[in-house]
Structure 1
């Protein structure tokens, strides 16, 4: 038996040939593959350690010696600083080098801070949930240009609807949002038909790369015609979804009875905002949100690089991180509810189902670019024909050639004063340029607290818009017919 010594140990043995020939020497490894890999890694670690020591010696010889530039430049101030803190060395054991010891203390201190910053309870409460894919299930209509628009209906049927509500959704949302958590019994009580739809490229609606706010209003017009809304309808919107509601009020006012807006978004670059309104608006936002709007205005293509994971997340994250805002007290309570979290996750999953980031970029750019109109154009005012001197003189003494311009319907706005997404300063701007709008200021309410899963809030909104509930049209007609039949029976002579 022969042994070869080294890191690997081999055993030599004589094995007789099966044909009776000369013995053959064979070597068998007594070391597993795992042990060989471990030995290889350890050897490389030793090499790297020696290499580091070599670099250290070179640095000490060339940069830290008495003749080096660093020592001559910073040696004096460093020595003075070191002498001031030398009393701390008394706390160290005598056999410890202060430089090495305090380096280790500083490193451990940094690790302790990182450990403290991690909240283990939060991780336990909010486990990682992946974004799921769902089969298509929306109703769709074809628009004149060939695109398909997905929509969703709630409430009473078309022939029984006393009021029709049409709702565009906000950013990172879909047709599933509507009025989150609204009870079917409440819609039935007021005879409301609620129609929500997916914006182009969101949910199951076809994308439309060349869209603008004018085309957005035309999409709404084609949708209501396709779903048999022949009378005037109401708009319901929340947050950035109100961008499309403003466009509908501007371009198709003759079809709209009124609008219910909750925390309506306006263009943060609106040139008619005062410096104080602009300052207060931007002051409420986090740096990440400010950067998003700045990039969208100046370098929209860079949004794809910076916000790919935010707009098309692979796993669900906290809503405040996705929307880049710091929630207030009431919003925190709302978003921590399991009911809200489940609804929000499903809504996000529907909005990103096409896996295309371009519609999200288009939506942000629409919010902060030139809308094609000013909000002050919705202000109700008299518009007289003044072409020519005679018409101008006539309009001075007669109102026959004058007509009202702007949006003539009702506009109700609900604004939480603790809103961190759409600051109250935006509401103040709207109140200033649209004095006919009815503003409902909500103390202590946030961005979501008066909109999501609030039965009492929904009742207040409907009562404000529609007054006393009268039920569906069909039920009222049946009741009146029954009363007429009873009166006829009573009048029949016996």
Structure 2
């Protein structure tokens, strides 16, 4: 028969093991604190930045013609994993021909913009308005967002429509949980994703506190986008192969931490939105501006079926579906010119 001492030791071992397991789980689930630019041992500040209303800093980069000479002023919202140094949607030729000034910025937590642990769609739209004011873009300006940057365009249409001269969404990532979608349509589009992406966006929506763990653990595959293992169309493969040969600015967009940059994008993008884009009113009742949505019909990352539904619910949006277009159709021959001219010169 075992002694009381033996039983006591077993319980102590069990308690110690349980504490160790809980400590491991806590470290695995809770992301490390952000390594803020300019802080002790943090990355250096090299970008041009503005100071926002709450003391945070927003890093940005300017492209196109000088602001003072521009006919049109744009704020650009890059896609998932890209920051202020991505101004590639605007070519020098388009800028010169149309007279476009273009500013791109690091979303909070990306690159050299301070993290915003309270980031929402509304707070980001207000960041955009403040950036425009501090840069002197005038009472109205244009916005354009690619992929995950599309969520910011929707936010601007909701929260600062009075500041917009026009807006363009290019292959905007769709939130499957928008209440305006018919259940069967959203479900069908959701299950068209790779299984690992179904899990990743589901975790971001239902259990956002597990998003860091899910995308850093080694047991199951994380988001294909997070892992740079995308499902691409044949057109996308050709375009990305061509772009890989071009020299692009080097930047470490996750240097302050994955959680406050790319993973925060996922949590906001697939979370419970404060509004439904399909409830938005036309911000340009007098045709003083327009809103355009561009989508490739062979996009392996964003379902065209849901974009068509949104466009059908919002007849004031000019919907352009690109035949044989993948997620990166924007960089195909003549597409960037078409995107800008459709907004600035009207549909032909």
TM-score w.r.t. structure 1 length? 0.56
**1:368 corresponding residue in structure 2:** 270
2: distance between equivalents of 1:188 and 1:309? 47
1:247 pairs with 2:155 = yes
- Give 1:258's match in structure 2, choosing from 143, 156, 166: 166
Please say if residues 296 and 327 of structure 2, whose CA atoms lie closer than 8 Å, have aligned partners that are also in contact.
Answer: yes
Residues 104-156 of structure 1: per-residue CA shift (max 9 Å, x gap): xxxxxxxxxxxxxxxxxxxxxxxxxxxxx996532111111111100010011
2: distance between equivalents of 1:407 and 1:279? 35
- Give 2:327's match in structure 1, choosing from 447, 450, 458: 447
- Give 1:196's match in structure 2, choosing from 74, 81, 104: 104
Please say if residues 50 and 134 of structure 2, whose CA atoms lie closer than 8 Å, have aligned partners that are also in contact.
Answer: yes
- 1:172-183 equivalent positions in 2, closer than 5 A: 172-180=81-89, 182-183=90-91
Please say if residues 379 and 407 of structure 1, whose CA atoms lie closer than 8 Å, have aligned partners that are also in contact.
Answer: no
2: distance between equivalents of 1:204 and 1:281? 35
1: distance between equivalents of 2:229 and 2:195? 8
Please say if residues 180 and 278 of structure 2, whose CA atoms lie closer than 8 Å, have aligned partners that are also in contact.
Answer: no
**1:326 corresponding residue in structure 2:** 231
2: distance between equivalents of 1:134 and 1:338? 28
- Give 2:297's match in structure 1, choosing from 417, 427, 431: 417
1: distance between equivalents of 2:237 and 2:62? 30
Please say if residues 253 and 407 of structure 1, whose CA atoms lie closer than 8 Å, have aligned partners that are also in contact.
Answer: no
Q: Describe the shift of the 1:194–1:340 C-alpha distance in structure 2 as closer, same or farther (beyond 3 A).
A: farther
**2:25 corresponding residue in structure 1:** none
Residues 365-390 of structure 1: per-residue CA shift (max 9 Å, x gap): 11122211111232339xxxxxxxxx
Structure 2: give runs of 5+ residues left out of the alignment: 1-41, 219-223
1: distance between equivalents of 2:124 and 2:80? 15
- 1:194-343 equivalent positions in 2, closer than 5 A: 194-308=102-216, 322-337=227-242, 339=244, 343=248
Q: Which has the larger radius of gyration?
A: 1
1:156 pairs with 2:156 = no
**2:259 corresponding residue in structure 1:** 357
| Secondary structure of the structure 2 residue equivalent to 1:222 | helix
Residues 371-426 of structure 1: per-residue CA shift (max 9 Å, x gap): 11111232339xxxxxxxxxxxxxxxxxxxxxx98998411111100001111012
TM-score w.r.t. structure 2 length? 0.79
**1:113 corresponding residue in structure 2:** none
Residues 207-239 of structure 1: per-residue CA shift (max 9 Å, x gap): 111111111111001000011111311111111
Please say if residues 173 and 350 of structure 1, whose CA atoms lie closer than 8 Å, have aligned partners that are also in contact.
Answer: no
| Secondary structure of the structure 2 residue equivalent to 1:229 | coil
| Secondary structure of the structure 1 residue equivalent to 2:263 | helix
Q: Describe the shift of the 1:340–1:309 C-alpha distance in structure 2 as closer, same or farther (beyond 3 A).
A: farther
Count of residues in Structure 1 that have an aligned counterpart in Structure 2: 300
1: distance between equivalents of 2:279 and 2:288? 12
Alpha-carbon deviation of 1:320?
6.1
**2:345 corresponding residue in structure 1:** 467
CA RMSD of aligned residues (A): 2.7
Structure with more of its chain in helix, by fraction? 1
| Secondary structure of the structure 2 residue equivalent to 1:451 | helix
2: distance between equivalents of 1:408 and 1:307? 44
